[in-house]
Amino acid sequence: MALHWQILIGMTAGVLFSLILTNFSWGREFVGDWIKPFGTIFINALKLIAVPLILASLIKGVSDLKDISKLSKMGTRTVVTFVATTVIAVSIGLVLVNVIKPGLAISEETRNDLLSSYESDASGRIDMAQQAREAGPLQALEDLVPSNIFAAASDNANMLQVIFFAVLFGIGLILIPEKSAKPVKDFFDGFNDVILKLIDLIMLTAPYGVFALLAALVVESPSTDLFAALAMYAVTVLIGLVCMMGVYAAIVYVFTRKTPAFFFKGIAPAQLLAFSTSSSAATLPVTMERVEEYLKVPKEISSFVLPIGATINMDGTSLYQAVAAVFIAQAFGMDLTLGTQLGIIATATLASIGSAAVPGAGMVMLVIVLAQAGIPEAGLALIFAVDRPLDMCRTTVNVTGDAAVSMMMDKMVSVPGNEQVVVETNFNEGKPVDRVNEKIHY
């Protein structure tokens, strides 16, 4: 059975199980003592893998950009475009969640129950946020550079420092001779494969983790307004994802003059596969095939842009993280300042660069965003019930964004003057065969 069906079954079973037990006097205590700890273990496992995931994925992704030495124009423009679309996605998410305010649908009574359940965690995060507001204007820049990478890696709240180190390390791998860099790069390539496999193993326990989280959530806060707010949160994310589809259609039309119908028809098989697998990496072969054969992007461009996009371009994931972070803050009655929300834009953008192209990685990255913004990480329990369906939708957006940027790069790089006349002599059965006036892109 597919994992998303297992998770949906676990989610439903958790709700029904807790609703039945609440009819018994001992039911709430039983769930709290014997069921909820498994949900906590699952969240801890996600948090455990966050730092290794950042180091492995980001170092590998940055070091793979060595092709920029050969395709400097395309490399620079690709990375800048990916970062720009990610910022747009996060901004759209923040605007929607602040306008719709799905977290405010939770009643004051339910909110107080949530705050009392996670009082120690919430108060600690609020104190950290207050300290951050009282710091100097350059404190964030100062905190970006760690004095000890091992100390920084010991606390998920310092994830920006880990990201800084990973980027710096990746740049160092690019700048040293390839012979010297190869053993280190091979290590991190293998390390990245191990981390991805660990995520697979952790996600195998997701149905049980969801069962425990939903059972505890219903027992601790049985109010129906919580589930109404959860539905509004899901709708907010979906509206944001549809808006990003519109952004991609606009990019394709402005740069290539191709209609949205042509673009979406060409990339549709890859979108369907992305929806079913929730993995940009698993969809990559189909994405490359559709982009090259139907959208007519040259292979030398698609083979560079699409793999990099599968590593660092996670627009759908970033949008979801922004909405989820503010939704959880609203649910806990926290009023996020403009500065904090700007910090969410920066953190979600940087976290998306290191987010692996596999199911469940977005939830791991959300831990980073929550910790950096001072939002209780326990709020993950609020949104996990609908995370899997939303994961399928945001992966579809991620893949669509990669395809749109590849078409954009084709037109930006293959400008007039970048086409040359090539005379290539091949030999066929000892006779020269001339191929003249063929266009190449570089």
In this prediction, residue 433 has a pLDDT band, given cuts at 50, 70 and 90, of: very low
Mean pLDDT score, 268-274? 82
In this prediction, residue 425 has a pLDDT band, given cuts at 50, 70 and 90, of: very low
So what's the pLDDT on residue 419? 43
So what's the pLDDT on residue 173? 86
So what's the pLDDT on residue 415? 40
DSSP assignment letter at 360: T
Identify the weakest region by mean pLDDT among 108-117, 170-179, 213-222, 399-408. Answer: 108-117
Mean pLDDT score, 339-360? 69
- 262 or 289: which carries more pLDDT confidence? 262
DSSP assignment letter at 258: -
So what's the pLDDT on residue 246? 95
- 285 or 140: which carries more pLDDT confidence? 285
Q: What angle do CA 47, 52, 54 make, to 5 degrees?
A: 90
Mean pLDDT score, 406-428? 57
DSSP 264-324: HHHHHHHHHHHHHH--HHHHHHHHHHHHHHTS---HHHHHHHHHHHHHH--HHHHHHHHHH
The predicted-structure confidence for 184-221, as pLDDT tens digits, reads as follows: 989 988 987 888 788 778 878 878 887 887 788 777 65
Mean pLDDT score, 319-334? 85
In this prediction, residue 282 has a pLDDT band, given cuts at 50, 70 and 90, of: low
pLDDT of 401 > 60? The answer is yes
CA pair distance 383, 127, nearest whole angstrom: 24
So what's the pLDDT on residue 247? 95
Identify the weakest region by mean pLDDT among 159-173, 249-263, 316-330, 417-431. Answer: 417-431
So what's the pLDDT on residue 61? 67
Instruction: Note whether 396 and 389 are within 8 A (CB).
Output: no
**In 26-105, which ranges are continuous DSSP H helix?**
27-30, 36-48, 50-63, 72-100
List Cα–Cα distances, 187 to 56, 91, 196, 361, in angstroms: 9, 36, 14, 21
CA pair distance 358, 302, nearest whole angstrom: 20
- CA-based max dimension of the chain: 92
In this prediction, residue 428 has a pLDDT band, given cuts at 50, 70 and 90, of: very low
- 171 or 255: which carries more pLDDT confidence? 255
Identify the weakest region by mean pLDDT among 35-44, 281-290, 326-335, 362-371. Answer: 362-371
Q: Which CATH class is domain 3-414?
A: mainly alpha
So what's the pLDDT on residue 264? 92
Q: Within 10 Å of residue 437's Cβ, how many Cβ atoms?
A: 9
The predicted-structure confidence for 102-158, as pLDDT tens digits, reads as follows: 887 777 676 666 556 555 554 554 455 455 556 666 666 787 788 998 888 887 667
Highest mean pLDDT pick, 18-32, 96-110, 216-230, 239-253: 239-253
pLDDT of 68 > 70? The answer is no
So what's the pLDDT on residue 359? 52
CA pair distance 187, 87, nearest whole angstrom: 32
pLDDT averaged over the chain? 76
In this prediction, residue 270 has a pLDDT band, given cuts at 50, 70 and 90, of: confident
pLDDT of 406 > 80? The answer is yes
Phi, psi of 435 (to 5 degrees): -120, 115
Mean pLDDT score, 62-80? 68
Nearest CA to 372 out of 168, 128, 131 is that of 128
| Global pTM exceeds 0.75 | no
So what's the pLDDT on residue 400? 94
